Each structure stands twice: as structure tokens, then as C-alpha cells.
């Protein structure tokens, strides 16, 4: 019969073994394919890796394009906001002029002031509609930036998977320490996040299109103004 002291020693050793195994498992699950491993794969066996690299480069380019588009959207919003501020100032001036004309009792002056005030009011309404549209356009562009990053995450995960498969097919013993399920899970998780962000982009784009349609409708109705009136 084992003595208590010896039993505690056994338990200690067993516990240490469990910890070591757990540590090794954690290392395997978090390990990645090293570039030098891939460099040992014959070039003719790297077709999928090359394709994944190209996809990653294209995704990175799309991020840059999205960032530029966001900058353009923000610039357009600033212009629209300045136009709205100017339209508001003209509207307030027109209202003041109308009050002065009404105080004089001059019918012709009142009619001219009323016409100018009405025109200024319409211009302000149009300017406000454009600013609302430009605000939504900025929101859309920002969400699209995030979407492009999510697409890059997918491309990164697919490249990691392709590299693992190439190294594993080359019978590199180090690849045996990695789990193919980890790479598949990473790709699936990245795709899920990209799909969720795409839904957000679609919702933002719908609101933007509605705001733009309202602005265009006001234009068609003859509302004048000093808005930038960009497509």
C-alpha cells in the first residue's frame, strides 16, 4: 500500500505532466506556419499559396481605396455643411428683411421680401437634405473601410491555411504538430465576421440611398440653393 507521502508525490508528478501536456497543446493551437518552412516547399507545389498571396494583396489594395473614398466623403460633407451654413445665413437675412418690409407697409416691398424669403427657405431645405445625405455617405464609407479589413482578415486566414497545406503536403514533420482544424476554424470565423459587417454596410448604404433620393426629389421639385450638387 502506497504511503501518503509517496501518493502526494505521484499526484504532484501527474499534475505536472498534465500541465506540460496542456502547455504543449496550447502551443500547438496557437502555432503558425513559419515562412522558412514554406521556403522549403518546391515552387511548383506553391500554386495555392501564390493565389492566396495575390488575394491578400488585392484585399490590402481595397483597404487603401476604401480609405481614400472615406476621405472624399468627408470632404464632400464639409462642403455641404458650409453650404448649409451659408443657406441658413441667407434665410435668416431674408426673414429679417421681410420684417423690415412689413413694418413699412409697402406692398411691393413686402412681396419682394416674401419671395426672397421663400427662395432662401427652399435653398436651406435643399442644403439640409444634402448635408443629411453626406452624413450618411460618410457612415457608409467608414463601415466599408471596416468591411475591407474583414476581407483582409479572411485573406490572411486563407493564406495561413494554404501555407499549412503546402508544408504538410511536403511532409514537413513540423506541420504534424499543427491542427488543420485550427486553420479551418480561423477561416470560418473570419468569414463570419465579414458577413456580419457586410450586413452593416448594406443597412448603411440603404439609408444613404434614401437620403440621396430625398435630396434629388427636392431638386426635381425646383428647390434652389448653393449646394455642391454632386452625384
For 63, phi and psi rounded to 5 degrees? -65, -45
Positions of the chain with pLDDT lower than 70, given as ranges:
1-31, 224-231
Q: Which of 169, 151, 156 is nearest to 46 (CA)?
A: 169
Q: Which of 172, 180, 150, 163 is nearest to 51 (CA)?
A: 163
Angle at 113 between CA 107 and CA 118, to 5 degrees: 125
Number of continuous H segments (helices) and E segments (strands) in the chain? 5, 0
**What pLDDT is stored for residue 11 in this prediction?**
38
25-74: pLDDT as tens digits:
333 344 588 888 999 999 999 999 999 999 999 999 999 999 999 999 99
Q: Which secondary structure element, helix H or strand E, spans residue 121, and what is its range? A: helix 107-169
Amino acid at each position: 500500500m502506497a504511503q501518503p507521502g509517496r501518493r502526494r508525490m505521484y499526484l504532484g508528478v501527474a499534475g505536472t505532466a498534465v500541465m506540460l501536456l496542456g502547455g504543449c497543446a496550447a502551443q500547438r493551437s496557437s502555432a503558425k506556419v513559419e515562412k522558412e518552412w514554406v521556403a522549403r516547399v518546391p515552387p511548383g507545389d506553391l500554386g495555392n499559396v501564390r493565389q492566396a498571396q495575390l488575394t491578400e494583396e488585392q484585399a490590402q489594395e481595397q483597404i487603401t481605396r476604401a480609405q481614400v473614398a472615406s476621405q472624399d466623403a468627408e470632404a464632400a460633407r464639409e462642403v455641404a455643411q458650409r453650404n448649409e451654413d451659408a443657406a441658413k445665413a441667407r434665410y435668416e437675412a431674408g426673414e429679417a428683411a421681410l420684417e423690415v418690409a412689413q413694418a413699412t407697409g409697402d406692398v411691393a416691398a413686402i412681396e419682394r421680401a416674401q419671395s426672397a424669403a421663400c427662395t432662401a427657405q427652399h435653398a436651406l431645405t435643399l442644403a439640409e437634405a444634402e448635408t443629411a445625405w453626406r452624413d450618411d455617405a460618410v457612415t457608409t464609407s467608414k463601415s466599408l473601410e471596416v468591411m475591407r479589413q474583414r476581407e483582409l482578415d479572411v485573406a490572411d486566414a486563407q493564406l495561413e491555411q494554404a501555407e499549412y497545406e503546402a508544408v504538410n503536403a511536403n511532409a514537413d514533420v513540423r506541420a504534424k504538430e499543427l491542427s488543420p482544424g485550427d486553420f479551418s476554424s480561423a477561416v470560418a470565423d473570419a468569414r463570419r465576421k465579414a458577413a456580419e459587417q457586410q450586413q452593416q454596410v448594406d443597412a448603411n448604404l440603404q439609408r444613404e440611398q434614401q437620403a440621396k433620393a430625398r435630396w434629388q426629389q427636392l431638386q426635381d421639385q425646383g428647390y434652389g440653393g448653393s449646394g455642391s450638387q454632386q452625384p
